Structure 1
Amino acid sequence: MSGGLLALPVVAPLAAAGLLVLLGSRRAGTSPFLRRAVGTVVSSGVVVVGAVLLVATTDGRRPVLRLGDWPPGIAITLVADVLSALLLTVTAVLVTASLAFAAATREDEETPFFVPAALVLSAGVYGALLTADLFNLFVFVEVMLVPSYVLLAAGGGRQRLAASRLYVTVNLLASTVFLAGVGLVYGVTGTVDLGRLAGVAAEVPAAAAAGAVILLAMAVKAAVVPLHSWLPGTYSVTGPAVTVLFSGLLTKVGLYALVRVYAVVFDGDPRFLWLLLAAALLTMVVGVLGAVGEKAVRPVLTFHMVSQVGYVLLGLALFTQAGLAAAVFFLVQYVLAKAALLMVAGAVEVGYGTGGLDRLGGLARREPALAAAFAVSALALVGIPPLSGFVAKLGLTTAAVAEEQYLAAAAVVGVSLLTLTSMLKMWNAAFWQAAPEEDRDDQGRHDADPRGPGPHEDAGGTAATGVRTRLRPALTVPALLLAASAVVLGVWAGPLLVAADAAAAGLVDTAVYVAAVTGP
């Protein structure tokens, strides 16, 4: 396979974004249809590229591209292994779904630069997944973050601008720490090439300290407790489609970098695993407790994002092939299921004008498709069989017990029960129980007017009337498709389990990856 394929996920989105900006700068601008078509075609193309790379890497190949044909250690090196190819494919699927959801909510019309910004953001993510150089990892992370600043503040409003200031401040600080860590690594070792850094932190204390600075910066970006408060404080107030896009990209790059750096640079050094384990358990528990205390749909889900970061970190803390495989499986299914839940929340906000649990009700009767998407995705994250979350959490629990980490195994079960509690709270308040207006009015009035809600009711979107469905299908279809993945990946888990196990094997033994990076 030609390594030139590795450049497409980075180059194509950047070129498409530049073209859209160039056309949009003209007086006539660009139509929403053109922006949507370009974004969808490019993101779908990256899905295909990711799938091709996944097949190739699962077969044992490691495609490599050295830009400019410079020698190893100097060239900008892009490398695909099973882990990066798998995450590349999943994130491209998420970007494609996010663009479809943005079209349904019309966020891409209200914010004409939405699609170009999303494409630039995705290019940064793809580059971060494929690079084999710490400095270039920093560059791609910054490419990813710049458009995220713009998207977060889009639409204005005092609350959104305040959230964007928090987001920018935290991430700029984390980026500064990250760059300082890269500089320290270079100062100690004379290189930032991952292949040449393999195992150095396990042997050189100064390199371990420098690498720890990088891990700290990535922990901030991944929203690991106690460095997490920026995430629920920002994701809860931005546009619905932006939250969906962010959910599968930004913190996931931080998690990927944590896993990659610890596996390669630290060589899975067992001396520090207890720190990772403590951070994982704390993140799981604090995140879910925060979710239980929230009173609106999106804030609950964003706190769950924090909690579920802890599950992935737990697999890293175990650092066994079984634990890492379960973590990779969990990460893939979690990206899709969480995006589906956030799409449900966004559809409710767009259609009903609120996400407050005390102002919603009766959605299971009025929006059965949306209710089905919520129920399946929520149960997947809880870990109810036969859905995908059950496979992942069973793997994590089994791996923890095998390492005699009984507290970790108990935490997986206990946090899952608390997750179920908060999901049931949302289900009862928003979907099952009667809406506030139904509690106040006579039940007969709802059956008396077959015409449904008037224009004012449809715009305000507060409570249910006798109409069976109010939301446009375009708002529910993306969530339904992603929710269906929880069933597919649970019932037919075999292919993903094979890929996750191959990715874990490459993390436990990095020799093949290192040889590809440092090879001729």
Structure 2
Amino acid sequence: MNTVLLPLLVAVPLFCAALLTMFTTGRLCRFLFLGTSTGALAAGFLLLWATRDGEVHVHQVGLWPAGVAIPFVIDTFSALMVTTTALLVLVCSAFAVATGEADRRYLPSLILVLSAGVYGALLTADLFNLFVFVEVMLLPSYGLMAIAGTLRGLRGGRVYVTANLLTSTIFLAGVALVYGTAGTVQLGELAGAARESPLVAVAMGLVLLAMMVKAAVIPVHGWLVRTYTAPSPAVTALFSGLHTKVAIYVIYRLYALVFDGDASLLWIGLVVFTATMAVGVMGAVGEGTTRSILVFHMVSQIGYILLGVALFTELGLMAGIFYLVHHMVVKASLFLSTGAVEHVHGTGELERLRGLAQREPLLALAFLGAALSLAGLPPFSGFVAKLALVAAAFDAGQWVVAAIAIAVSLITLMSMLKIWSSVFWGRPPEPERELRMADGPSKGGTTTITAPSAVTRIRTGLVLPAVALTAVTLCVGLGGQLLLDLSAQAAAHLLDTSAYVEAVTNR
């Protein structure tokens, strides 16, 4: 494989983002915007093909020797993440085009810079450059939070900036301490360092703490539920599949590589991540808008994903990675389907919406499929993901964790049915319009009565992105063996990091 493709995944979106700042609207702008992510998706499939047999490929940027150059590394795990990320960026960008939001001059550029930062974070094998790429992710995100121009967006952006600046400070301090105690920040040279040196373990623990805040793990999840309801639906869907998932990827990678899967610390993860599952889903029960319910479910599902690394068995890691890919797709689909409703009807409040299934059957099917997948029902990918994770918990002897995971799934289903019954089920409200009629000379004024008017419909362009992602979760559920095999290969690299270390250090 020509490894020069790896840095191009970062360079090309940045270059295209710069070009897009010179355009306002038009076909060329949209072609460049969507074409960049389409190319990244094609590159992701090529990388998956190149790593399907367990090969690890590395590119030393600038062709400098190992230890001096910035290493970009691709294995099955990172290839899965790159491919899924490119898919989400493409679909969410198409939704932004359909809503007209992409016509805002700087929004396409901000999204492409965000995607470049994500690709860099997934590919780099250097801890300091990981920090740099995470910051590249965050800088355009601040703009995307505020670009809606609403008071709610500005308030959410303020919380988002504050939380992430604090987390970035913790992250950078951890990186500095790692360098001070281990003398290097290259991941290949840090392999197993935390088990050999308590000082390195403490320093790396600070890095993992920062990643857990970014992943919105209990009890540091409050920033997520206060900010992800603020931006536009397209931006929320994009954030749901990228920001927290990069943090989860880093947790998996660092714990496997630097801590070498130290079993003595796994009980901490089991307690915290199980609590994250339960608290997140209970928070969703009391919410009254579609987006706030889905955001709380994000917190709950993050607990499920991280259980894989807390179990740290072959089956547990495979299930966690499968769950990670599944959740990125399903959660974005849910945000896009409810976002289409919010964009057209101007609200996501459950009490103000009902009966949309009769008028929008395709959108209703897209939401229902993704909701059932989130709850873990067949034949969708969520069933395979939760079945594998529960089986991994039983296999590891964690009966209580498995029981809580099953119980949380039932509550998740109830919350999804709450949205379905309030927004999509039932008879649609009687459409009304105002007519002003004369009351006659004795009254000398007018009165207002109501009469039926045309029904507002959701355009097909707004529905298709959610439909596409729901179709993906259905296909993955029906043909789950392919993703299971890739997830198993990725898990094998985490259990035995020798191939990754050898590729990075060029030994």
TM category, shorter: over 0.9
Q: 2:37 aligns with which of 38, 43, 46?
A: 43
Matched position secondary structure for 2:464: helix
TM-superposed CA distance for 1:318, in Å, is 0.3
Alignment partner, residue 185 of structure 1: 178
> Structure 1 unaligned runs (5+)?
25-29, 439-445, 447-452, 457-464
CA deviation profile, 1:307-334 (whole Å, cap 9, x unmatched): 1100111011000111111111111111
Instruction: Quote the offset at 1:469 in angstroms.
Output: 7.0
**2: distance between equivalents of 1:424 and 1:159?**
27
Partner of 2:495: 508
Distance in 2 between residues matched to 1:257 and 1:36, nearest whole Å:
32
- Correspondence 1:209-358 to 2 at 5 A: 209-358=202-351
**In structure 1, how many angstroms separate the alpha carbons of the residues matched to 2:55 and 2:379?**
33
- The answer to whether the 8 Å contact 2:433/2:453 transfers is no
Give the superposition deviation at 1:466.
Answer: 8.7
2:76 paired residue number: 82
Deviations 1:181-232 (A, max 9, x none): 0000000000000000000101110010000000000001111111111111
Report the Cα offset of residue 300 of structure 1. 0.4
| Aligned-partner Cα distance in 2 for 1:31–1:257 | 37
1:74-94 CA deviation, whole Å, 9 max, x = no partner?
A: 210000000000100000000
Contact 1:365 1:468 in 2 (8 A): no
1:45-64 paired onto structure 2 within 5 Å: 45-64=39-58
Q: Secondary structure at the match of 2:65?
A: coil
Match of 2:447 in 1: none
Task: Percent identity, please.
Answer: 53
The residue aligned with 2:4 is: 4
Q: Quick one: distance in 2 between partners of 1:194 and 1:466?
A: 63
Mapped to 2, the partners of 1:44 and 1:66 lie a distance apart of: 25
Counterpart AA for 1:412: A
CA distance in 1: counterparts of 2:493 and 2:434, whole angstroms? 57
Which of 83, 101, 104 is equivalent to 1:107? 101
Q: Does 1:31 align with 2:31?
A: no
In structure 2, the residue matched to 1:442 is none
Aligned to 2:440: none
Report the 3-state secondary structure (helix = DSSP H, G, I; strand = E; otherwise coil) of the residue aligned with 1:248: helix
Distance in 2, matches of 1:319 and 1:257, equals 15
Aligned to 2:279, the other structure's residue is in SS state: helix
2:64 to 70, 74, 92: 70
- Report the counterpart of residue 443 of structure 1 in structure 2: none
Structure 1 residue 72, shift from structure 2 partner: 1.6
| 1:279-299 deviation line (CA, Å, top 9, x unaligned) | 110110111011111000000
Partner of 2:148, secondary structure, is coil
- Aligned residues: CA RMSD: 1.6
C-alpha distance in 2 between matches for 1:501 and 1:392 = 13
- Note if contact 1:366-1:469 (Cα within 8 Å) is conserved in structure 2: no
Select which of 335, 339, 364 maps to 1:371.
364
> How far apart are residue 454 of structure 1 and its match?
6.7
Counterpart residue type for residue 92 of structure 2: S
Q: Shift of residue 71 of structure 1?
A: 1.9
In the alignment, the residues of structure 1 paired with residue 369 and residue 391 of structure 2 have an alpha-carbon distance, to the nearest angstrom, of 24
Matched, 1:414 2:407: yes
Kindly tell me: are residues 370 and 266 of structure 1, through their superposed partners in 2, closer, same or farther at Cα, counting changes over 3 Å? same
Amino acid at match of 1:380: S
The number of equivalent residue pairs is 492
For the residues of structure 2 that align with 1:54 and 1:372, how far apart are their CA atoms?
30
Alignment pair present for 1:475 and 2:475: no
TM norm structure 2: 0.95
Provide the C-alpha distance between the structure 2 equivalents of 1:373 and 1:506, rounded to a whole number of angstroms: 35
SS in 2 for 1:225: coil
Question: Secondary structure at the residue paired with 1:249?
Answer: helix
| Maintained 8 Å contact 1:185/1:191 | yes
Q: Following TM superposition, by how much is the alpha carbon of 1:433 offset from its aligned partner in structure 2, in angstroms?
A: 2.6
Query: 1:424 matched to which residue of 2?
Result: 417
What amino acid is aligned across from residue 377 of structure 1 in structure 2?
Answer: A
Instruction: Give yes or no for contact 2:340–2:463 (8 Å, CA) kept in 1.
Output: yes
Q: Does the 8 Å CA contact 2:113/2:136 hold for their aligned counterparts?
A: yes
In structure 1, distance between residues paired with 2:354 and 2:56: 51
Q: Is the 8 A contact 1:64 1:517 kept in 2?
A: yes
Tell me which residue corresponds to 1:196. 189
The match for 2:476 among 486, 489, 497 is 489
SS, match of residue 156 in structure 1: coil
Cα distance in 1 for residues equivalent to 2:150 and 2:369? 34
Q: Where in structure 2 are the equivalents of 1:164-179 lying within 5 Å? A: 164-179=157-172
**Runs of 4 or more off by more than 3 Å in structure 1?**
453-456, 465-469
Structure 2: distance between partners of 1:57 and 1:420: 36
Within 2, Cα distance between the matches of 1:152 and 1:468? Answer: 32
> What TM-score do the two structures reach when normalised by structure 1?
0.92
Offset of 1:102 from its aligned partner? Answer: 0.3
CA contact (8 A) 1:199 1:264 kept: yes
Structure 2 gaps, min length 5:
436-451
Displacement after TM superposition at 1:351 (Å):
1.1
Instruction: Measure, in 1, the Cα distance between the counterparts of 2:244 and 2:99.
Output: 24
**CA distance in 2 between partners of 1:88 and 1:455 (Å):** 52
Distance 2:348 2:275 in 1: 28
Query: How many angstroms apart in 2 are the aligned matches of 1:270 and 1:481?
Result: 40
Deviation at 1:338, TM superposition (A): 0.7
Deviations 1:65-117 (A, max 9, x none): 111222222210000000000100000000000110001111112x2211100
How far off is 1:361 after superposition? Answer: 0.2
Amino acid at match of 2:419: M
Give the distance between the partners of 2:487 and 2:226, measured in 1 at CA.
32
Whether contact under 8 Å (2:144, 2:235) holds in the other structure is yes
Letter in 1 for 2:301: Q
**One-letter amino acid of the counterpart of residue 18, structure 2:** G
Amino acid of the structure 2 residue aligned with 1:489: V
